[in-house]
């Protein structure tokens, strides 16, 4: 806990400094009535109405709390979060979701081999044998077509389908959600957002790291958490 508090304390001066700079620029822009130049070159589609449903279906999901596969009613709206309900009736009655995943920074995989390779890359086992003999699957699949949602700093998501077409539809949707979430915060033009992103950039650069823009995917909570995990990890400063 003290390491976490120290990490946030170390980051705070960077944000305070960039906030002051961004606020002054914002005031100057307001006075001069400047417009965002990118609006002349980039035209975006009008946003969907809040709460628009992009996907809903009953499918098998691995419930982390009970370590079992359960049939869940999964709904994805245009905030790109993945919500799981006990069943369709619970969703229609307005019940709270059993789980909610914001997949920013994630990767979508459709085979156990792909998932294991990615996990080994990020979390190598130093005492593991070079030859994996009689290895057991991480999660025993109840159906033939899995979808693994690999998340950098959160619990991973596991889903399963009876048909390949349903697997493809869901995995494609998840990839779209990730793409939108990875860029939405960076597209914000508020001075608070700009100050936050610049603070993360300068904070990392002072530690000698100039890449890894995966650190700024998602909303401000996920960005802060990602940077904090990096700081506290063995590969951090």
Task: Give the domain 53-124+136-185 fold.
Answer: PH-domain like (2.30.29)
Tell me what pLDDT residue 153 has: 74
Confidence of residue 18 (pLDDT cuts 50, 70, 90): confident
> Contact, 85 vs 76, CB < 8 A?
no
- Report helix angle 191-206 to 220-232, nearest 10: 10
Tell me what pLDDT residue 232 has: 43
Quote the tokens at residue 20: 């002051």
CA distance 83 to 77: 9
Q: Tell me the pLDDT tens digit for each residue of 124-156.
A: 665 555 444 445 566 789 999 999 999 877 889
Tell me what pLDDT residue 31 has: 65
Quote the tokens at residue 86: 């006990």
Tell me what pLDDT residue 132 has: 47
Percentage of the chain lying above the pLDDT 70 cut: 58
Percentage of the chain lying above the pLDDT 90 cut: 36
Order of strands across the sheet with 107-109? Answer: 99-101, 82-85, 68-77, 53-63, 157-161, 145-150, 107-109
Calculate the alpha carbon distances from 149 to 44, 124, 195 in Å: 28, 19, 31
* Of 4-8, 14-18, 20-24, 60-64, highest mean pLDDT: 60-64
CA distance 102 to 224: 15
Q: Is the pLDDT of residue 184 over 90?
A: no
Residues 6+ apart with CB under 8 A from 118: 107, 109, 150
Q: Tell me the pLDDT tens digit for each residue of 24-69.
A: 766 666 666 555 544 444 555 566 688 899 999 999 999 988 999 9
Residues 114-126 have a mean pLDDT of: 78
CA distance 99 to 139: 19
Tell me what pLDDT residue 157 has: 94
What is the rounded average pLDDT for all residues in the chain?
76
CA distance 203 to 236: 12
For the chain, counts of helices (H) and of strands (E):
6, 7
If phi > 0 it is left, if psi is from -120 to 50 it is alpha, else beta; for residue 105 that is left
Q: Tell me the pLDDT tens digit for each residue of 208-222.
A: 655 544 555 555 555
Tell me what pLDDT residue 236 has: 47
Residues 74-87 have a mean pLDDT of: 95
Q: What DSSP designation does 96 have?
A: P
Q: Where in the chain is the domain with CATH 2.30.29.30?
A: 53-124+136-185
Q: Is the pLDDT of residue 188 over 90?
A: no
> Contact, 97 vs 67, CB < 8 A?
no
């Amino acid at each position: 806990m003290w390491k976490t508090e120290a990490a946030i304390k170390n980051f705070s001066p960077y944000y305070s400094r960039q906030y002051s700079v961004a606020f002054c620029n914002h005031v100057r822009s307001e006075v001069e009535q400047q417009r965002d130049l990118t609006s002349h070159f980039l035209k975006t589609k009008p946003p969907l109405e809040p709460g628009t449903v992009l996907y809903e279906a009953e499918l098998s999901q691995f419930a982390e709390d009970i370590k079992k596969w359960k049939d869940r009613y999964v709904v994805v709206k245009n905030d790109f979060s993945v919500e799981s309900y006990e069943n369709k009736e619970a969703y229609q009655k307005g019940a709270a979701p059993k789980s909610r995943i914001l997949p920013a920074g994630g990767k979508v995989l459709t085979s156990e081999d792909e998932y294991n390779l990615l996990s080994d890359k990020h979390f190598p086992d130093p005492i593991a044998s070079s030859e994996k003999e009689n290895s057991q699957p991480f999660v025993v699949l109840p159906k033939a077509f899995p979808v693994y949602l690999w998340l950098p700093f959160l619990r991973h998501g596991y889903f399963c389908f009876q048909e390949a077409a349903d697997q493809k539809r869901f995995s494609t949707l998840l990839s779209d959600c990730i793409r939108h979430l990875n860029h939405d915060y960076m597209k914000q033009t508020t001075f608070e957002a700009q100050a936050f992103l610049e603070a993360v950039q300068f904070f990392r650069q002072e530690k000698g790291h100039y890449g890894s823009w995966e650190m700024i995917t998602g909303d401000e909570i996920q960005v802060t958490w990602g940077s904090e995990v990096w700081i506290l990890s063995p590969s951090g400063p």
